[in-house]
Amino acid sequence: MGLTGLEIFKLTPRTNCKECGFPTCMAFSMKVASGAVEIEKCPHISDEAKGKLSEATAPPMKTFTIGKGDAERKIGGETVLYRHEKTLVNKPLVAVAFDDTLNAEEVDAKINNIKDVDYERIGEQMNAEAVLVRYGTDKESFLNILDKVSQLGKINIVYSKDASVAKEAIEKVKDTNPVLMGANKDNLNDMVAIASENKIVLGLEAPTLEELYDLVQAADKAGHKDLILNTTGEEIGKAFENTVEVRRAAITGGDRTFGYPSLVFVNDLAEGDEFMETALASTLVLRYGSIIVLSDISYKRALPLFGLRQNIYTDPQKPMRVEPKVYEFGAPKEDSPVLLTVDFALTYFVVSGEIERAKSPAWLLIPDAGGYSVLTSWAAGKFGGSVIRNAVKESGLEEKLTKKRLVIPGKVAVLKGDIEEELPGWEVIVGPDEAMQIPKFLKELV
Amino acid sequence: MGYKKTVKKYNGTINKVTLGTGEKAFEIGGRNVMPFYKFDGEAGEQAKVGIEISDEPASSWSEAFAELYKEAGDDTAAWAKLVEEKYAPDFICLRFDGADPNGKNKSVEECVEVAKKVADEISVPLVVAGSKNDEKDSEVFQKIAEALQGKNILILSAKEENYKAVGAAGALAYNQKISAESSVDINLAKQLNILLGQLGVKKESVIMDIGSAAVGYGFEYVTSTMDRILLASLGQNDDTLQMPIITPISFDVWSVKEALATEADEPAWGNQIERGIHMEVSTAVSCLVSGSDAVIVRHPKSLETVKKFIEKLS
Ligand code: B12
Ligand code: SF4
């Protein structure tokens, strides 16, 4: 829970010396309370007061950095339960699971899948961020597989309840800032020792939430505060309940004992049903998973899951937009068609992808449509005849073109008449409804 | 100190609405907690999953669907029957794609005929959806509501543009249930519920369709709208928002690229129909977790998965 302006004011020297840039200590304190200014801006605050403040204003849920280099990611750090309250900050990571029972072909197949599924979507690279290698009984196989998958350069998550095996495994990947899973009440001290020595995040697990809670406190006492909680539980219902309760205890319950990220073994819960895996993984994107463990990755699983995750982790205050202007594809000429779309980043991403796929030269004209999708901006009155006319006039396209053809999105076919009236000399062509059909459409147009 | 559960109690409850008649009739709603939070309180009726069929042949969707339903040929009623017997959905959603004035422009009489036949063949509740042409839909809906009196069907849907006609005929004159459709905005949803109330439609006759999108395609607005609606209806006991929610996710899912692109279009993406099912499952489940009390899917495998998911969480 944060401090109020008045409480912070009491921590200042109350001299109104103005060095912080504010006229009074009170004015400064109000700004600090609202999060707009750092307490460090006042040079006269005592360390003791700073300590008090940072404890009181510490976020309800810890943030950790895991992985190294390109693989480095943050987890945790959420401050709200619902995204309309405030932007969610650290998207859940996807880990692909390996265990020591897999043979070489099975391991290679998964490794290839992880490499294959790596693509861009609206400026974000989409792939599985982590690999998780689980030790069961075959140490040699486990360590071999770890050697192999750690070559991928992902976040390495080592899972072993046997502390001596865990120690050997962590030794192999310790330079990658890995995560160690598998600490329980029986092995806690040994596991804490490994995690502390390597300064890595440790994953705790217990049969019930009550026991997990006690375990967090025990780990804390043993001196390790960088933790992840395995909230999987025995079955799907329990996993959901655990994951919700842990997050809620931290965010609205103000209980920092559960103020840690969660990890869920969706692969185990789904029992080999890939569609169920997608169902559960999607659920956890919405309801509080921090690391989602899948049995494998493929495009059919990745496309919905990463799309959903990208949606949920966008800032609700500002829609993702692209600059309104003319974009060029394949060196368009004076007789190439002009395609029209809106400045919503998602729409631009989809449409530009298809024009590229079409491999035929084209202009893409984007007016200022408020950053909305085609139908939304049309319904909002931001994508009509006059907006489009102005965009065409300002684009300078008329001077460049000998053949003036404007292709409008099929979903706003009703605009055809309006635009024709606004733009004499232009041929207005209704394009297909879905961007997918653009390549075929352009081929037939030329 | 030991763990203390943070239970969240709300004072509002989602209305219960009944669809269908006889043994296969069901209720939705009745929840006073966030979806599937049975650990907080009364989780209400289990969420329901329906399957979409069309007055146009399955081949108008894709080869894969044509193959799946080939036994039924081009007979909509046979298709409905096959779906009920083979896949056991909670309800069937018959969509009148063919009524579209810019498409086949089937006559109202023709549509009513099909609706009657379908209703006769099935015992699960029937949901009828239109062609997205507000004017035509409202004519079709009025006549179907009349023809299927006593069947307790759900009409999908009444919008700001046609709620008077659809509400008056559907709910008032012929005692069917209606879905109030708005576009991903809590205030619009509320306003339409209020308008229907002013028209005299009882709240037990109204379900909401608050709008939908496929995951990856503006879905953040859908989930946030649902979150906000639930926090208002449960948390603030706002009775103008306590209608259960139905979301026809299949209407959006099967027209995005992930479901439409053939393997030739996107060789790396793998099997087209499986891609569609993953999209559908992800979207359906995301809606249910956010607040839908019923969803409509297109593929039987999606139905199976989503039903299993609901069982596990209920
Ligand atoms: C998310 C959303 C919103 C978000 C906005 C998100 C955004 N940044 O755009 C919010 C909540 C803000 C919103 C608001 C409104 N919305 Co809205 N919204 C949607 C929703 C759910 C998804 C839109 C989306 O992201 N689509 C994905 C993008 C990629 O689609 P797209 O831009 O159309 O692009 C596709 C095609 O058009 C094509 N394409 C695009 N460009 C081109 C170009 C060419 C040449 C070609 C060939 C093809 C092509 O390719 C793309 C993929 O195939 C839709 C419903 C739905 N499921 O679609 C409703 C929807 C678009 N909204 C609607 C409405 C009415 C509104 C409001 C007016 C409601 C209101 N009265 O307040 C407001 C308007 C905004 C305002 N006044 O401030 C209606 C529009 C109805 C209609 N037919 O006109 C819809 C259809 C919902 C509905 N069924 O009622 N909305
Ligand atoms: S610098 Fe510190 S002491 Fe000086 S006015 Fe600002 S808050 Fe007060």
Within a domain: B7: no
Percent over 90 (pLDDT), chain A: 85
Q: Is the pLDDT of residue A47 over 90?
A: no
Question: Quick one: tokens of B133?
Answer: 């042409």
Q: Establish if B138 belongs to a structural domain.
A: yes
pLDDT reported for residue A1:
46
The closest CB to that of A436, out of B37, B214, B257, belongs to B257
CATH of the domain at B221: 3.20.20.20
Positive or negative torsion for Cα A434, A438, A441, A445: positive
Rounded Cα distance between B103 and B97, Å, is 8
**Where exactly are the structural domains of chain A?**
5-57, 63-312, 326-444
List pLDDT tens digits, range A323-339.
Answer: 999 999 999 999 999 99
**Partner-chain contact B224 A275, CB within 8 Å:** no
pLDDT tens, residue by residue, A138-150: 999 999 999 999 9
Residue-wise pLDDT for A173-208, tens only, equals 999 999 999 999 999 999 999 999 999 999 999 999
> A238-260, pLDDT tens digit by residue?
999 999 999 999 999 888 999 99
Q: Could you list the residue range(s) of the whole structural domain that residue B283 is in?
A: 16-313
pLDDT for position A121:
92
In a domain, B41, yes or no: yes
State the pLDDT at residue A3.
Answer: 74
Confidence of residue A318 (pLDDT cuts 50, 70, 90): low
Express each pLDDT in A101-136 by its tens digit. 999 999 999 999 999 999 999 889 999 999 999 999
Return the structure tokens found at B126.
């029937």
Q: Which residues of B touch A245 (CB under 8 A)?
A: 5-6, 39
Q: Which of B78, B195, B55 is nearest to B129 (CA)?
A: B55
Tell me the three state secondary structure of residue A135. Answer: coil
* Of A212, A236, A301, Cβ closest to residue B313: A236
User: Per CATH, the architecture of A326-444 is what?
Assistant: 3-Layer(aba) Sandwich (3.40)
Interface residue A377 vs chain B (CB under 8 A): no
Q: Can you tell me the distance from the alpha carbon of A24 to that of A35, in angstroms, rounded to the nearest whole number? A: 17
Separation of alpha carbons B235 and A440, rounded Å:
51
- Any chain B CB within 8 A of the CB of A121? yes
Radius of gyration, alpha carbons of chain B: 19
User: In this complex, do A436 and B260 lie within 8 Å of one another by their Cβ atoms?
Assistant: yes
pLDDT of residue A106: 97
Please, are residues A274 and B183 in contact by the beta-carbon 8 Å criterion? no
User: Measuring CA to CA, how many Å separate A233 from each of A96, A97, A163, A206, A264?
Assistant: 19, 17, 22, 8, 9
Interface of A with B in 267-296 (CB under 8 A): 273-276, 278-280, 282-283, 285-287
In chain B, which residues have their Cβ closer than 8 Å to the Cβ of A303? 216, 258, 269, 275, 278-279
Closest atom of ligand 2 to A29 CA is: 7
- Quick one: tokens of B128? 């009828």
Which residues of chain B lie closer than 8 angstroms to A379, CB-CB?
183
Q: Are A380 and A370 in contact (CB under 8 A)?
A: yes
**Contact predicate A39/A8, CB 8 Å:** yes
Q: Does A345 touch chain B (CB under 8 A)?
A: no
Owner of token pair 């004035």: B101
Total domains present in chain B: 1
What number does the ligand 1 atom closest to the CA of A339 have? 45
Minimal Cα distance from A319: which residue of B? B218
Interface touch A312/B219, C-beta < 8 Å:
yes
Residue B205 in contact with residue B177, Cβ under 8 Å? Answer: yes
Q: Name the nearest CA neighbour of A208 among B3, B34, B41, B36.
A: B3
Check if the beta carbon of residue B51 is closer than 8 Å to that of residue B300: yes
Q: What Cα–Cα distance (Å) separates residue A174 from each residue in A63, A153, A157, A180, B170?
A: 20, 13, 11, 10, 67
Determine the pLDDT at residue A39. 84
Q: Is the pLDDT of residue A317 over 90?
A: no
Strand partners, A63: A76
Classify residue B255: in a domain, yes or no. Answer: yes
Q: Which two tokens stand for residue B139?
A: 């004519």
CB B207 within 8 A of CB B28: yes
The answer to whether A398 touches A407, Cβ cutoff 8 Å, is: no
Q: What is the mean pLDDT of each run of 10 residues along chain B (314 residues)?
A: 88 97 97 97 97 96 95 95 98 97 95 98 98 94 96 96 92 95 96 96 97 96 97 96 98 95 93 97 98 98 98 96
CATH number for the A5-57 domain, one of 1.10.287.130, 2.60.40.1180, 1.10.15.40, 1.10.1760.20?
1.10.15.40
Which residue of chain B has the CA closest to A380? B183
Which pair of tokens denotes residue B20?
């269908």
Distance A19 CA to ligand 2 centre (A): 6
Say if CB A298 and CB A269 are below 8 A apart. no
Q: How is residue A420 written in tokens?
A: 């024709």
The pLDDT value recorded for residue A2 is 61
Note the pLDDT of residue B290: 98
Contacts of A223 (CB under 8 A, 6+ apart): A192, A196
- Tell me the CATH number for domain A63-312: 3.20.20.20
Dihedral sign from CA coordinates of B16, B20, B22, B23: negative
How remote is the CA of residue A44 from the centroid of ligand 2, in Å? 7
Cα atoms in the 13 Å half-sphere on the side-chain side of B191: 10
Chain position carrying tokens 């909230």:
A231
CA distance A121 to A124: 5
Tell me if chain B has a CB within 8 Å of the CB of A311.
yes
Pick from A245, A282, A300: CB nearest B6? A245
Closest-CA distance, A245 to chain B, in angstroms, reads: 7
Average pLDDT on A396-422 reads: 95
Q: Among A33-37, A156-160, B81-85, B258-262, name the one with the lowest average pLDDT.
A: A33-37
